[in-house]
Amino acid sequence: MSNDLPLTKEAILDAAEQVLRRYGPDKTSVVDVARALQVSHGTLYRHFASKASLREAVTERWLHNIILDPLETIAVQSGGSAKERLRSWLEILVHTKRTYAINDSEMFAMYAAVTLDAVEMITTHVNQLIDQIARIIEEGIKSKEFKLVESNATARAIFIATSRFHHPAHAHEWSSDTIDQEFASVWVLLLSGIS
């Protein structure tokens, strides 16, 4: 087995993502990824210390590209209604998680599993999301759409209050006929607390 091309972390992550989608997170091994890259599994261990660290890196990249980046676009917008931006931010988070739970179930299953093991990485990701909410809240305070609140604490409370709609532990509830109405009710309550 040999591949003359230089092996980069991105190439490994691309291959790992493809293999994980094919076999699922539980059945995928480092050997499977190495085989897809036409290298020895020892070569992969020079880049990633373990199967767990490889899975964590794939998940981290997936979260960044699929969740964090699109939401950052909303967080950095200027002008317009902060209420609408906050609602849009939450709806996109919820919709993206639901869509991937259904249409990319292998990656979503890996993400759900990694949330239990890679506490530091998930904590960093959650804090980045909360920071995005806080920036929208700060804009709403400046425009007088929102009350004068402590933006970080309020953002964290909003994230926690909506977790049923985006945390993978609740994915089995997302197909409920009433889930959209329940989200709308939570939104009205949250908005009344900050407006």
Q: What is the pLDDT of residue 104?
A: 86
Q: What is the pLDDT of residue 194?
A: 97
Pair (40, 94) in one structural domain: no
Question: E strands along 38-140, which residues?
Answer: none
Pair (16, 87) in one structural domain: no
Pair (33, 87) in one structural domain: no
Q: What is the pLDDT of residue 51?
A: 85
Pair (150, 179) in one structural domain: yes
Pair (101, 16) in one structural domain: no
Pair (5, 60) in one structural domain: no
Tens place of pLDDT per residue across the chain (195 aa)? 445 457 889 999 999 989 988 888 788 889 899 999 999 888 888 888 888 888 889 989 999 999 999 999 999 998 889 999 999 999 999 999 999 999 988 888 888 888 888 889 899 999 999 999 999 999 999 999 999 999 999 999 999 999 999 999 999 999 999 999 999 999 999 999 999
Pair (71, 40) in one structural domain: no
Domain coverage including residue 74: 50-194
- Give the single-character DSSP code of 147: -
Count the domains in the chain. Answer: 2
| CA separation for the pair 10, 16 (Å, rounded) | 10
Pair (108, 12) in one structural domain: no
User: In terms of C-beta density within 10 A (0-12 exposed, 13-18 middle, 19 or more buried), how is residue 134 classed?
Assistant: buried
Pair (62, 113) in one structural domain: yes
Q: What is the pLDDT of residue 4?
A: 46
Pair (93, 15) in one structural domain: no
We report the CATH number of the domain holding residue 74 as 1.10.357.10
We report the CATH number of the domain holding residue 31 as 1.10.10.60
| Angle subtended at Cα 165 by Cα 65 and Cα 111, rounded to the nearest 5 degrees | 40
